[in-house]
Amino acid sequence: MNIKPIVELQNLTKVIGNKKIIDDVSLSLYPGQITGFLGPNGAGKTTTIRMMVGLMKRTSGEILIDGRPLSENFEEGLSKVGVIVENPEMYKFMSGYKNLLHFARMQKNISKERINEVVRQVGLEQRIHEKVSTYSLGMRQRLGLAQALLHRPKFLILDEPTNGLDPAGIREFRQHLRAIAETESVSVFVSSHMLSEIELMCDRIAVIQNGRLVDIRDMSETAQSHYYFELSPTEKAHGLLVSNGFTPKLLPVGLVLQVEKDQIPFIVQLLTANEIEVFAVQPHRKTLEDQFLEMTGGGQIAESYTK
């Protein structure tokens, strides 16, 4: 990718006591792109995020924001970052608009026009002057997003942003987030345990395990050429294909092969010539959950923010 990254983690390492919590993590995050950050319990997601927003000191390595080291330009660097954590805190006795006005006064040069702009971006025009106590969880999340966008950040970090939302609220939040990433060229970094939502929301994923980054892949790569063959007998078919250089995954009533589409006629011919009945062949797409379990050896993904 020729586009200059907004954020770069360069050999980021964190040691607590004698334990290496984060081990030589390097990652680049680009404008207009949403990156999902996944990992099992205790993998180091929260520690990484805390270092990225200055809540925890790194042991070694560097964090660059817009090309400049955070360690040398802390205030300027963080001025380009917006953060949303699970269930953002708001003054519930005040209206949504007054909450935004209050937060705007803590920043520099945020006009009422900018407040109205972010309200439109997150779809709260109809309810912005009502008290936050009357808001649904989804509306409070969108208000939190508006707050994080007030100072026009180049980089947005979200930690479990859709936790507790109903399906409609999740879909709305996802749509607003995608629109903001694309129209304002904001780089978005999402830590979540909701794999199905990450799959719909993100352009790529970064997977961390035991403090090390074990995989970075575009979501387009998840749609690899896998095909499901419904056939019998499966064991005989498996052995035949292995002996011919394929690597099938055996299932109870068939098998899955990663092959190009133009190889299918040859495979079907090979199977039938060896008295194996082929009942159906159809595309088989691995879910993000399948891939995550393969990458991490079956580790659980949820992680508390306090870890």
Query: How would you classify the pairing of strands 277-283 and 254-258?
Result: unpaired
User: 240 and 170, same structural domain?
Assistant: no
User: 128 and 94, same structural domain?
Assistant: yes
Of 218, 233, 267, which marks where a domain is finished?
Answer: 218
Residue 18: how many CB atoms within 10 A of its CB? 5
Nearest 5°: the CA angle 53, 58, 61 is 105
CA–CA dist 262, 241 (Å, integer):
16
- Packing angle between helix 112-121 and helix 167-184, nearest 10 degrees? 130
Q: Would you say residue 173 lies in a domain? A: yes
Q: What is the dihedral of CA 209, 215, 216, 221, to 10 degrees?
A: -130
Name the residue range of residue 52's domain: 7-218
pLDDT by residue, tens only, the chain of 307 residues: 578 999 999 999 999 998 999 999 999 999 999 999 988 778 888 899 999 988 899 999 999 999 999 988 898 888 899 988 766 778 899 999 999 999 898 888 889 999 999 999 888 999 999 999 999 888 888 899 899 999 999 999 988 887 777 888 888 888 888 888 988 899 999 987 777 777 788 889 898 888 999 888 887 665 556 788 999 899 999 999 999 999 888 877 788 888 888 889 999 999 999 999 999 998 776 666 666 666 656 555 443 333 3
Question: For the whole model, what pTM was predicted?
Answer: 0.73
CATH code, 268: 3.30.70
CA–CA dist 93, 96 (Å, integer):
9
User: 253 and 121, same structural domain?
Assistant: no
> Can you name the residues that pair with 270 across neighbouring β-strands?
none
Q: Would you say residue 61 lies in a domain? A: yes
